[in-house]
Amino acid sequence: LDNTIKFINKGTNKPRQIIAIFPKAELINIKLSKYKNLMIFISNHYGQVNQRIHGFNLSKTNFTLQLDDDCFISQEAIYELRS
């Protein structure tokens, strides 16, 4: 997750908000607190679909992009999607 967030933040359009949803029992990596645009939430439900729904409900922006923690997109991807 750390590498994915680092890569996204190096892009041409740094997102205002990155939401990470963790299942209740999973340990959260403390070093992620270095990202000012990262919000970490705990889900009471397991499974990718439930975690994604939870994240979409928490989003406060007009544009939301869902990625798994092992996804890498081009650094221009957010700019291109917004154009």
Three-state SS at 12: coil
The residue to which tokens 């939401």 are assigned: 19
- Compute the distance between CA of residue 36 and CA of residue 5 in angstroms, rounded to an integer: 11
Give the type of residue at 2. D
What value does the mean pLDDT of the chain take? 82
Q: How many CA atoms lie within 13 A of 70 on its CB side?
A: 0
| Segment 15-29 mean pLDDT | 77
| Segment 58-81 mean pLDDT | 82
Higher pLDDT, 39 or 32: 39
Q: Name the pLDDT band for 23 (thresholds 50, 70, 90).
A: confident
